[in-house]
Every structure is written in structure tokens, then in C-alpha cells.
Amino acid sequence: MIGVVTGFAIIFTVVGAGFALGRAGVFGGDGGRLVLNRVAFHAATPALLFTVVAKSDQKELFSPVILVSLLAAVVTALIYAAVSAVFFRRDLATTTMGAAAASYVNSNNIGLPVGIYVLGTGAYVAPVIVLQVVLFTPLILALITAEDHRGASRARRIGHSLREALATPLVLGSVAGLVVCLAGWEIPQPVMAPLELLGGASIPLILMSFGASLTEQKMLDSPADRPAALVATAMKLVLMPAVALVLGLGLGLSGTQLYAALILAALPTAQNVYNYAATYRKGEIVARDTVFLSTFLALPVMLGIAALFGG
């Protein structure tokens, strides 16, 4: 399980550095911290997603495992939205961030090490990255900005926001990478190398901003957001793997494929969810608290899955 430990060690170390720098006043307050998110959102993360998706294997993009991952994420997000509507109704943006936090997995800086060291291959992880950034990200961005467009019906506001989301650097970089992958093109190294260097800054920038945000407010310190964060965390770590198990068995998965589907479903909430929330200042506390809690609690859950299904 060295891959799991390595992934978590990376996160905790860089988050700790961001927290220390935040306490030392290096970022100069909230505005300085958010610059890291904006750089990641508009430059570093699009470069990272382009390079990762462009180098994916076409044959690995479509498998029963990716279908289970898609359905498990959608079912979990819908259940969260239903629970939120009944027990702790919030605005559309906050509800969207809670649903994303409950279903959007950390497929990059934890998922890739887990795939390589635990599953023995990154083949199952790359399609999840493509799925999330090409399908889920535009919808998330559209929903959290829908209320910004006043004077129109909700459907029209969401449609307008979706068009805007599709034009963001994140989505454009991901789609461009997908086109390169499906077309079988090989990007010249003088082009790819600078993009890989820029993309390498994405995860550290997001994690450091996340760490710095912990100096501004204690975890679960907001009574209004506490139920949403706790429910999203429970759904991410318990409900989503359970849904993946039911779906996987229903679709006939077994052995390595079923194990892969469960491990992927148990990954903690992605830091990208926090980055979206911090960039647009929508549902930021729910996203931050869920990322923090799920990251700390995911390790024992994944170790349990490995013991039961890893063979």
C-alpha cells in the first residue's frame, strides 16, 4: 500500500507548507492566497489536464470500470442533492459544491499513485480524470455561477453558465487533450515539455492555498455549513464505494476490475473541487471542510477495501 501512503504524504506535506506560510503572513491575507487558486485555475491546471489526457491510451478510456465510476458519481451526487433539499437546504451554488465534494474524486495526486502502486497500472485512473474534467467540471462551473445571471429563468441561467463554463481554460485544455488522444497525434517535445513544467505547478499551488485557508477559520466552525460537510464526507467515503460495489456486481465486474472500481470510488474529494469553490467564492467552506475530512479519513477506508477485495 505504499502508493496510498505516498499520495497522502504528498498532500499533507504541501498543505502543511501552505498552512505555515499562511500563519507567517507570506500571502498577505486572503487576497494573496486566492492568487494561487487563480493561477492554478487559469494556467497550471489546464496545462496539467491537457498533458495527462493527451497521453492517455485510447483503449483505456472505455471500460466497465469507467462506467461504474460515472454512475457511482452521478448517483451519489443526486442522493446528496436530495438529502440537502430535505434536511439542510442551501443555495444552488453551495448545494452544487456539496454534491461535487461527495462525488468528485482525487484521481490525480492520490489516484495516480494508488493506481500505479496498488492496482499495478494507471490505466483505470486516466479515464476517470478525463470523465471528471470533460463532463463534470463544465456542469459544476455552470451550476455554481447560474445565480449570477439575474433576470432569466433558471434553465436559461444554467444554459448561459454552461456555455461560459465550456469556454474556461480548464475545459478547453481537457477537450484539446482528448482530441489529441483520440486522433493519435504526438505533440512535439518542445511543445509538450513546457506544458508539463507548467502543469507540474498545479497541485502544489492548490494545496498551498488550501493549507493557507486553514489559518482563516477552524474546520467545521461554520454551523450553517457543518451538516453539508459532514454528509458530503460520509457519502464520499461510505456511500460512493457502496454504490460502486452494487453497480459493479450488477454489471458483472469481479476480481481486479471490481477492486479497481471500489478503490477509485473511495478516493477522497479532489482539491479541484476546492479550487473551483475558492476561485468563484461559492460554497468554499463546504468544499474545504469536505476535502480536509475526506483526505484524512480515506486512508483507513481504502486499506479496508484492499484487505477485503485486494486478494
213: domain CATH number is 1.20.1530.20
* Cell output for 82: 436530495
How far apart are alpha carbons 298 and 232 in whole angstroms? 13
- Burial class of 189 by CB neighbour count within 10 A (0 to 12, 13 to 18, 19+): exposed
Question: What's the pTM value of the predicted model, to 2 decimals?
Answer: 0.79
The whole-number pLDDT of residue 310 equals 77
Q: Which domain holds residue 126?
A: 2-309
Cβ contact 149:26 at 8 Å? no
Counting Cα atoms < 13 Å in the Cβ hemisphere of 9 gives: 8
Q: Considering its fold, how many domains does the chain have in total?
A: 1
| Average pLDDT for the chain | 85
Mean pLDDT throughout 159-168? Answer: 74
CA 33 from chain centre, in angstroms, equals 20
pLDDT at 51 over 90: no
Cα 309 to Cα 112, 156, 257, 261: the distances in Å are 19, 46, 10, 11
pLDDT at 116 over 70: no
Q: Match 497550471 to its residue by C-alpha cell.
A: 44
Digit-coded pLDDT (tens) for 198-241: 988 888 888 888 888 878 767 787 888 999 999 999 999 999 99
Stronger pLDDT, 100 or 177, i.e. the higher one: 100
Q: What is the 8-class DSSP label of residue 59?
A: G
pLDDT at 123 over 70: no
For residues 147-180, one letter each, b for 16 or more C-beta atoms within 10 angstroms of the residue's C-beta and e for the rest, the string is: eeeeeeeeeebbebbbebbeebbbbebbbebbeb
Q: Three-state DSSP class for 105?
A: strand
Q: Three-state DSSP class for 113?
A: helix
Residue type, 154: R
Mean pLDDT throughout 70-74? Answer: 96
Q: What number of other Cβ atoms are within 10 A of residue 23's Cβ?
A: 12
pLDDT at 114 over 70: yes
Residue type, 241: P
Mean pLDDT throughout 135-139? Answer: 87
Q: Three-state DSSP class for 246?
A: helix
pLDDT at 82 over 90: yes
How far apart are alpha carbons 88 and 75 in whole angstroms? 19
Q: Would you place residue 151 in the very low, low, confident or very high pLDDT band (cuts 50, 70, 90)?
A: low
Digit-coded pLDDT (tens) for 263-287: 999 999 988 898 889 888 899 999 9
The whole-number pLDDT of residue 153 equals 63
The whole-number pLDDT of residue 4 equals 65
